[in-house]
Structure 1
Amino acid sequence: MLFTLRATGPHASGLGYLLHKHPDKLQTFPLAFGRAHVFYPEASAEAVTAALLVDLDPVALVRGRPGSSEGGLVDQYVNDRPYAASSFLSVAIAQVLGSALAGRCKDRPELVQTSIALEATLSAVPCRGGATLLRALFEPLGYEVTASRLPLDERFPAWGEGAHHDVRLRKACPLSELLSHVYVLVPVLDDDKHYWVGEDEVEKLVYHGEGWLATHPEKELIARRYLKHRARLARAALDRLVSGEAKDPDAEAEAHAEEEAAIEAPVRLDEARIEAVARALSDEGAKTVVDLGCGEGKLLAKLVRNRAMTQLVGVDVSQRALDVASERLKLDRHGGRKSERIELLHGSLLYRDARLSGFDAATLVEVIEHLEPSRLGALERSVFAHARPRVVVVTTPNAEYNVVFTSLPAGHMRHKDHRFEWTRAEFEAWARGVAERNAYTVRLAPIGPADDTLGSPTQMAVFSR
């Protein structure tokens, strides 16, 4: 699938700065479902064109997943996914062009809000609703829309036209504004999101729809299709948009993390967790480690000092957290988010991802409690069944210990984004079940100052095979 951006006029040369991609380089980025390439077919003082080419492997998307045979085996090989501008394109935009989408530009911050003459082209957009829907979605936002419907097969004109269109959008606006519109509306046009939709997708829609979606004449259709026709989620998103409660999910997560750190500060729990996990990895002889849900890179900063560790990879769903981790680890000195020993990847822990395989160890430090309990099975499959590192280290709060924190109101969890906090017995039952189902052994260990009755504030499980 191909997405191009062309900038003209006095600010055209700023496109490379905004995208954080150098015009003289072809850059390739691994994705959970394939690879993305960024290159510049045109780069002059008058006009700059950047192209995002997504090379998607449709078989890898379903291989080994429960229910992957649904629809027939042939459907896994013969479909439009490698070519059509579907929700996978939106995922690629978020992962590869995340800073531009979020409106961040470290080198030229004045360009973020600058109106630039832009032309975006999308090849083979599956539009269930035709050119009429295309115009109904983009024209109210000020775009000049050109759409040409593609034939089912040029060799057989009698077969007629299909549902796919080549689309061209023209508008003078900040780049982040255009990217937000494309990010939201491409899955709406496709009306067939290829990944699980839950509360986090509501957060994305509310955040990226801020300032335009609440007044869009097709806002109900957009919310319904974006959220895969889950009426409750669509209503919740629209209610928040109309009430003006749109928040940056990354900024909100940072604020909640600071609150949690303040609660735990008296027992210096953050440092104790990192020390305990690093010690467990060293005891297990791990030389290659992937930190799943790496956040701002605190554990990686500790591990990189150990020269025995030859490869360290951090993975997180938050682009902002990865940017902070990159600065903490001083990766800018190495030309980006990758150096000889350490690399940062944008991705989800809930889906099979070939990039996560082949490591000695994986860590999930204060991660599982941020997931809905119904998604723990997906995490188990992606980490323990598919990636299958030799060692997995998991830490999570001990709910019994919460009464010790005097600043935490009774009955509250330590972090506003926590979906649950387990007792020691609940964590042990989950850990032993995971170990048994996936042929691991597991040992449990406390972290932090222990209370004779309540245990320690953090509990750790070390899985090995």
Structure 2
Amino acid sequence: MFLTISTTASAAGAATDLGFLLHKHPDRSQVFSTSYGAAHVFYPEASAERTTAALLLEVDPPALVRRGRTQGRGRGGAPDAALAAYVNDRPYAASSLLAVALRTVFSSALRGECRTLPERAAAPLPLRIEVPALPARGGAPLVERLFAPLGWQVAAEPVALDGHFPQWGASRYVSLVLEGELRLSEALRHLYVLLPVLDDAKHYWVSPDEVDKLLRFGAGWLPAHPEQKLITSRYLSRRWSLTRDALERLELARLADADDIEVEDIDNAVAAEVPEEAEERPTPLAVLRRTAILAALRDHGAARVLDLGCGQGQLVAELLKEPRFTEIAGMDVSVRALDIAARRLRLDRMGERQAGRISLFQGSLAYTDARLKGYDAAVLSEVIEHLDLSRLPSLEYAVFGAARPGTVVVTTPNAEYNVRWETLPAGHVRHADHRFEWTRAEFAAWAGAVAGRYGYQVAYTPVGPDDPEVGPPTQLAVFTLTAQKKKEEAAA
């Protein structure tokens, strides 16, 4: 099976930049081993004006049959040795086999990573993708309905069943050409999901892990796709329980604004899908943040915890898993976010005892609120940077001055680390709604001043890889009431 990706020169750079973006040198032919055969990468043409990269997958049918047996396939139908198991279209037609090869060979490009040319990786390119033999259950009209909403110009020509006998009509295959200006990582993610959808027959057992995989590679485009249900059902091999789960989660993603997803969370979600044989799977930064917050709360013996700006309830869900947190409150200014959190947590199906530990309510940190008093700890995770600097004093008083929990945990992006995000254009903040992003010195100056004004002491913890030059991607501060203040307030 065969696929080509071509680009032409543009004002942003030469066409040969494609070699850097794919991490495959145009002057060399390379071979990669997969579980189903050998994947070859080579360049039929490579000039400054036009460059084409080709992926050729040589499928080994006996290896495919052997792997199917180890996964429990081949039972209940024709015998494993049936001729159809060895003589089929798998070596020739694009399918889920080619999608797996894309992920294996172009894993860095899927994540949008390119240390040499980060600006090119983050920018749209003039792309032309050709798949000579694509199974399409639904024909050319379905191919158009799947790819056109994503910004592609689609040419899907039906392949004749037999060129010598045109009266036999068209086969179920099309010759596909896609043209458009998209980021290379976007194009690869579209192919990764939609190739097996069009084939409508995966070569491996579809487990619950496939739901997470679909959501990772569909992030940013699948929640709003007009053929979302068809894509989800076919990708999950029409397994009803998995499809229902995926559609529920996609609905949550659709309800949430796309801007609610941090740049690093998208990158790390895709990074989690890198094959084990290619490189170690990194832990998403959002997970590292929650882990660090939970550790701080445990260290300070908190039992009653406030999640201020709780969003869609990810941290609340983690707190609920630990019985030590006996009372958990989530507050957010967005009613829609609270609705999503309630659905994510399945509050309507939760047992009475568990439901008694949690409350979600709407409120603003710009005002004092009696409901926030009496908690052991409060968390402000990726919240302060969403406020105008002129409104920060109101938040400071509402939390540190009026609510006065014994411990306050604050996380915020480290602006110095932004140069390490290759998909983030220079000078941009990580999120469209961020009003500011502080350096380590700026954050320490703010935290120190707040602690001094309200009788807290503050300590700092890096979250994520601590780069020797620019520090960690997230900075975390733990504020604790001083012993003197505790004594004074206890006496009062």
Q: What residue ranges of structure 1 are gaps of 5+ in the alignment?
A: 256-294, 296-314, 325-407, 413-465
Aligned twin of 1:86: 95
Q: TM-score, normalised by structure 1?
A: 0.54
Larger Rg: 2
Partner Cα separation in structure 2 for residue 47 and residue 216 of structure 1: 31
Secondary structure, aligned partner of 1:321: coil
Partner of 2:422: none
Q: Which residue in the other structure is 2:44 paired with?
A: 41
Select 1:27's aligned residue among 30, 50, 54.
Answer: 30
| Whole-angstrom CA distance in 2 between matches of 1:213 and 1:28 | 32
Cα 1:113–1:318 shift into 2, 3 Å: farther
Distance 1:199 1:251 in 2: 20
Describe how 1:144-159 pairs up with structure 2 within 5 A: 144-159=153-168
Match of 2:246 in 1: 237
> What is the aligned partner in structure 2 of residue 211 from structure 1?
220
Deviation at 1:253, TM superposition (A): 11
Q: Tell me the TM-score normalized by structure 2.
A: 0.51
Deviation at 1:322, TM superposition (A): 6.3
Preserved contact between residue 18 and residue 112 of structure 1 (Cα < 8 Å): yes
- Given that 1:40 and 1:50 are in contact with CA atoms closer than 8 Å, whether structure 2 keeps it comes out as yes
Distance in 1 (alpha carbons) for counterparts of 2:30 and 2:269: 31
Please give the per-residue CA displacement for 1:363-396, whole angstroms capped at 9, x wherever unaligned: xxxxxxxxxxxxxxxxxxxxxxxxxxxxxxxxxx
Report the secondary structure of 1:215's partner residue: coil
Matched, 1:184 2:193: yes
Return the letter of the residue paired with 1:127: A
CA separation of 1:318 and 1:103: change in aligned 2, threshold 3 A: farther
1:321 paired residue number = 280
Q: 1:235 offset after TM fit, Å?
A: 2.3
Q: Deviations over 1:195-242 (max 9, x none)?
A: 111222111111111111111110010001011111222222222233
Cα 1:160–1:137 change in 2 (3 A) is same
CA distance in 1, matches of 2:73, 2:224: 39
Alpha-carbon distance change, 154 to 71 in structure 1, aligned in 2, over 3 angstroms: farther
Q: In the TM superposition, what are the counterparts of 1:103-122 in structure 2 within 5 Å?
A: 103-122=112-131
C-alpha distance 14-225 of structure 1, shift in aligned 2 (>3 A): same
Distance 1:9 1:318, change over 3 A: same
Choose which of 126, 133, 155 in structure 2 pairs with 1:124.
133
8 Å CA contact retained: 1:204, 1:249: no
The answer (yes or no) to whether the contact 2:271–2:282 under 8 Å persists in 1 is no
**Equivalent residue, structure 2, for 1:138:** 147
Deviation at 1:98, TM superposition (A): 0.9
Deviations 1:376-428, CA, capped at 9 Å, x for gaps = xxxxxxxxxxxxxxxxxxxxxxxxxxxxxxxx95699xxxxxxxxxxxxxxxx
Structure-to-structure mapping, 1:360-399, within 5 angstroms: none
User: Could you tell me whether the CA contact under 8 Å between 1:144 and 1:171 is conserved in 2?
Assistant: yes
Task: Let me know the Cα RMSD of the aligned residues.
Answer: 2.9
Contact map agreement 2:7 2:128 (CA 8 A) in 1: yes
Structure 1: which amino acid aligns with 2:156?
A
Question: How many angstroms does 1:152 deviate by?
Answer: 1.9
Identity %: 48
Q: 1:197 to 1:67 in 2, by over 3 A?
A: closer
